[in-house]
Amino acid sequence: MKIKLSEKDKSMLDGGFGGAVKMAMRILLAMAKAYGANEFLDISSAHIDGCLYHGDSGLEFADRLVQGGGQVVVPTTLNVGSVDLLHPEAFQGTAVQAERGAKTMKLYEEMGCKPIFTCTPYQAMHRPEFGSQIMWAESNAIVFANSVLGARTNRYGDFIDICGAITGRAPAFGLHLTENRRATRVFSVEYLPQHLFEKDVFYPVLGYYLGLHNQQHIPAVIGLPPNITEDQLKILGAASASSGALALFHIVGKTPEAPTLKDACQGEIPQEVIQVTMQDIRESVSHLSTVPDGPINVVALGSPHFSMDEFASLMPLLEQYPIHPSVQFMVCTNRLALTGLKRKGWLDSLREMNVQIVVDTCVVVAPLIKANHGTLMTNSGKFAHYTPGNTGFNVIFGSLEECVRSASQGNVWRDKSLWQQ
């Protein structure tokens, strides 16, 4: 298939905008051919995951773009890197890893990317408008942008993301196109116990379930309350993107493309309607832990990065249940939230309570855990999914209160009423 190119596209391919742009456009053209796109479209925003150091090839790629004069042409933010640049002493890897991780982050900053280093750019003052075409990487950011903001992006990964940022172009395929954003499978939660909808811990579990059952579908969910919060949508999306590579969901009556089920399905009949049961939810809960309840070594919160509202829920729990000295308690967040913590006087309080605040990175992508092995507890569906493979630790999933109270006694504490009918 021949791809329609604008005069500017041709000039970029011919080197008229410099070596970095030429290389980026060649990569984008190869991707467009692979996915069957017949043209490119302009983007208005980018979010870059490639600033995370995975090896020298990524570092060399970024350096070549910088040497070729690469500069972003749309507002562009950076995802987490490999190092907490504000607290470098937290890094538990080698000096070489730390140096190369920081260098990779710096190279992307040199290309004009905003160094917010967060997986939640949408909670750090980067919120594309409804209907805008964007090129975002980082799975939870992608699903949030598509679903909650109503912007349009595919699941872009490392290196292709910066190519879009320095050309301002993306192949026109997938979720960039209206017809591909239609809900094809409907999930009803109408008959689940209503008290679950008030609990934050329900939403990563539901998200994990949706991801497992939607690899080839876009889901619409009916029956959730209209007052579902942004943080609840955030953690639902993050879990669904982890378990099933989900990039778009519709919450009927809440998300912008789904004021009604008919709108979510674009007037067509869905292929299937599934009634979600408590048995489904309990099975999803069981998937999120790899070992039985028992002693824990680490509690890690903040994947996606913790918001100020989430800190507001955490503070009173920590005051009531002091952390056991044998437990490393970490919360990953962004620099904007860190400033908010300082302003409220919470940062000093958290440190006095032996809470380690991490910015710029997170536990599943950087060596931050002091122990070599053990069990990590988290309230994050994303952390729960990636912890065993990325850190080698066992994982136990629980609510925020369960995590704090477990950290207080060094052993898992459970709210036995949580998943009852």
Tens-place pLDDT, residues 84-96 = 999 999 999 999 9
Query: Taking a C-beta distance cutoff of 8 angstroms, is the pair 31, 155 a contact?
Result: no
Task: Report the pLDDT value the prediction gives residue 420, as an integer from 0 to 100.
Answer: 85
Tens-place pLDDT, residues 381-415 = 999 999 999 999 999 999 999 999 999 999 999 99
Taking Cα atoms as reference points, which of 47, 75, 268 lies closest to residue 178? 268
DSSP string computed for 166-204: HHTEEES-GGGSGGGG---EEEE-TTS-GGGGG-TTHHH
Task: Report the pLDDT value the prediction gives residue 347, as an integer from 0 to 100.
Answer: 98
Token digits for 252?
A: 């009927």
Which whole number is the average pLDDT over 145-156?
98
Environment class of 417 (CB within 10 Å of its CB; exposed 0-12, middle 13-18, buried 19+): exposed
Token digits for 278?
A: 């408590």
In the chain, the domains with their CATH numbers are: 7-179 (3.30.499.10), 182-287 (no CATH), 298-409 (3.30.499.10)
Q: How far is CA 184 from CA 246, 251, 267, 272, 365, in A?
A: 13, 13, 11, 7, 33
Tens-place pLDDT, residues 258-311 = 999 999 999 999 999 999 999 999 999 999 999 999 999 999 999 999 999 999
Assign residue 18 a region: left if phi > 0, alpha if psi is -120 to 50, beta otherwise? left
Q: How far is CA 283 from CA 173, 179, 287, in A?
A: 35, 33, 6
Is this model's pTM higher than 0.95 or not?
yes
**Strand stretches in 366-408, DSSP E:** 375-378, 394-397
Which whole number is the average pLDDT over 107-114?
98
Task: Report the pLDDT value the prediction gives residue 286, as an integer from 0 to 100.
Answer: 96
Contacts of 349 (CB under 8 A, 6+ apart): 315
pLDDT confidence tier of residue 1, bands split at 50, 70 and 90: low
Query: Taking a C-beta distance cutoff of 8 angstroms, is the pair 147, 248 a contact?
Result: yes
Q: Which residue has the tokens 């160094």?
A: 115
CA distance 19 to 57: 18
DSSP string computed for 40-91: EEE-S-EEE-TTS--SHHHHHHHHHHHHTT---SS-EEE---SS-TT-GGG-
Contacts of 360 (CB under 8 A, 6+ apart): 80, 81, 83, 84, 85, 86, 105, 117, 118, 335
CA dihedral 400, 382, 245, 255 (to 10 degrees): 30
Instruction: State which amino acid sits at residue 226.
Output: P
CA distance 356 to 75: 31
Tens-place pLDDT, residues 178-209 = 999 999 999 999 999 999 999 999 999 999 99
Taking Cα atoms as reference points, which of 136, 146, 155 lies closest to residue 76? 136
Task: Report the pLDDT value the prediction gives residue 214, as an integer from 0 to 100.
Answer: 86
Which whole number is the average pLDDT over 367-374?
94
Beta bridge partners of 4: 39
CA distance 94 to 134: 36
CA distance 291 to 395: 7
